[in-house]
Structure 1
């Protein structure tokens, strides 16, 4: 006799939900990494620009060139501020997806535990049935010999 769990489709569903949550977390982490990389690039550009402004100031360059560099520096500051917000949003999304994954993992664990208990009960029942059959065979043999 084969074990057939009545709620196997629910277990499969919970496993699929967990897999989807893992994918969503992976995607959110990818977005976070991209945002952080972009922010790092902007900060590096700002650092290089600051060095360029310093160098131009020492060369006694034209006022217009220094103003243009300063305006670009201000633009980079605004971009860095916006990108920092994007990074914060991506981090919050990662945390939300982590919580969702934890929830899905817990659901799956509960259903797998229930399946394991049902399997143990099935095995116990099969052992008991087998033992009863062996006992009956032994009783029949004893009765046959007694005659």
Structure 2
């Protein structure tokens, strides 16, 4: 019995490889997004701490110069938070693009796998037909040789 060989197997392998690569890229983009979000949370928490510090120091005998310095640092944190928000949005957009690319590659791979499955089914059908024809031929030959 002949073995099934799909003539487009290299393309199927390529599509599978592309899907794996798209999965890795999405995973990397998700990791980057998580990192940016963590960094943003840390900046926001630090800002809250300094803001509380200003409120506490405003009620005590802290000099105006120190309060201004703290306020400048809070403004610096606000700018950093704004930049980090932009970075988070870029990372979210990157994740969305990677998800769409993965979706496309998965669909593409499924198309080729489906084509391979159809080719395998045709091969099996042809093999069954060939086997049945051989059995029919054996039966015919046996009938003819056993006839009086």
Fold shared by both chains (TM-score > 0.5): yes
Return the offset for 1:103. 0.6
Report the counterpart of residue 133 of structure 2 in structure 1: 132
TM-score calculated relative to the size of structure 1: 0.99
Report the counterpart of residue 73 of structure 1 in structure 2: 74
SS of the counterpart of 2:146?
helix
- 2:6 corresponds to 1:5: yes
TM-score calculated relative to the size of structure 2: 0.98
Q: Structure 1: where are the runs of 5+ without partners?
A: none
**Backbone CA RMSD of aligned residues:** 0.6
In 2, the alpha carbon distance for the partners of 1:49 and 1:61 equals: 14
* Residue-by-residue CA offset, 1:77-130 (whole Å, 9 max, x unaligned): 000000000000000000000000011001100000000000000000000000
Q: Structure 2: where are the runs of 5+ without partners?
A: none
After the TM superposition, list the runs of 4 or more consecutive aligned residues in structure 1 that deviate by more than 2 angstroms.
Answer: none
Report the counterpart of residue 87 of structure 1 in structure 2: 88
Say how many residue pairs are matched: 147
In 1, the alpha carbon distance for the partners of 2:33 and 2:89 equals: 9
